[in-house]
Amino acid sequence: MTIRRSLFVVLAVAAAALAVGGLSGLAPFGHYPGPYGDIINAVGTHQQHVTNMVTAVTFDYRGFDTLGEEYMLFTAVTGVALLLRDARGTAANARPKRIRGRPRLGRSEAVMTAGRWFAPVTMVYGVYVVLHAQLTPGGGFQGGVVIASALLFFYLGEGYRQWRETVRAPVLDPVEAAGTGLYAAAGFAGLLSGHAFLENVLPLGTTGKLVSGGLIIVLNLAVAVAVAAGFALLFVEFLQETRQFKGERT
């Protein structure tokens, strides 16, 4: 235990030194030193017809980088599924694992009620964040995580069996792949029309309206679908680890 604590202290001091060194070189708050942010703020609305410059950068000016980030998430979720999904299958009627010496507590009515209230509210808010990415802070990544979080509230409200009968891995697998593939496929729209890969070739619409930004809307929705399904798959795999299947010993 002494060795572990000593190692922790050494690593904590090293991490703190790196953090202090990195933060010490930052410009004062409100004094942005680089030119790129100022350029995007000056031309982004006119060029892309969006009012959220983060969305303009993420899904247009550096949209190719976002494609890589989406496939990194897709690869990570696939790796988790390969490691955790085994011959036990995905049965919804598996009983909880028991830990010796620890009593099994019943479900809290307060948690159940909160889960049933928060699930639909969180889902609606997640959809709102996704649809308004070109107008206000948010987007497919953030909204996708919020939508997936709504499924966790559903689990807390309804229990594992009902949750697993609704949230199914065989459905989420192709949905995540479809969202990831849609982003790449949308990039070829530019090539087919004689432009660059991922170039915004759709009508840009009216600035400030829900339908604006052209191809940005498609890319944002693709990311939202992939992220929401990907995180939901992670929840399925992790929660399945808490269940005990027939013939399995604790």
Distance CA 44, CA 61 (A): 9
Considering its fold, how many domains does the chain have in total? 1
Assess if residue 19 is contained within a domain.
Answer: no
Report residue 31's pLDDT band, with 50, 70 and 90 as the boundaries: confident
Report residue 87's pLDDT band, with 50, 70 and 90 as the boundaries: low
Assess if residue 98 is contained within a domain.
Answer: no
**Please, what's the b/e burial string for 196-235 (b: 16 or more CB within 10 A of its CB; e: otherwise)?**
eebbbbeebbeeeeeebbbbbbbbbbbbbbbbbbbbbbbb
* pLDDT tens-digit map of 174-227: 999 999 999 999 988 888 888 889 899 899 999 999 999 999 999 999 999 999
Lowest mean pLDDT among 34-43, 50-59, 92-101, 155-164: 92-101
171 vs 107 pLDDT, higher one:
171
Residue 250: pLDDT above 50?
A: no
Residue 111: pLDDT above 50?
A: yes
Biggest distance spanned by C-alpha atoms of the chain: 68
Assess if residue 13 is contained within a domain.
Answer: no
Which 8-state DSSP code applies to residue 205?
Answer: B
Distance CA 180, CA 221 (A): 10
User: pLDDT at position 217, please?
Assistant: 94
Say how many C-beta atoms besides its own lie within 10 A of residue 174's C-beta: 11
Mean pLDDT on 53-63 = 93
User: pLDDT at position 3, please?
Assistant: 84
Assess if residue 159 is contained within a domain.
Answer: yes
The fraction of the chain above a pLDDT of 70, given in percent, is: 89
Assess if residue 184 is contained within a domain.
Answer: yes
* pLDDT tens-digit map of 224-240: 999 999 999 999 988 88
Assess if residue 58 is contained within a domain.
Answer: yes
Report residue 10's pLDDT band, with 50, 70 and 90 as the boundaries: very high
Tell me the residue range of the domain where 127 lies.
Answer: 50-89+108-241
102 vs 57 pLDDT, higher one:
57
pTM over 0.75: yes
Residue 245: pLDDT above 90?
A: no
| Helices marked H in the chain | 2-24, 36-48, 53-56, 63-84, 109-131, 140-158, 160-166, 169-192, 215-240
Which three-class secondary structure state does DSSP give residue 134? coil
Report residue 127's pLDDT band, with 50, 70 and 90 as the boundaries: very high
Mean pLDDT of the chain: 87
* pLDDT tens-digit map of 141-174: 999 999 999 999 999 999 888 888 889 888 999 9
User: pLDDT at position 25, please?
Assistant: 77
Residue 23: pLDDT above 50?
A: yes
Assess if residue 94 is contained within a domain.
Answer: no
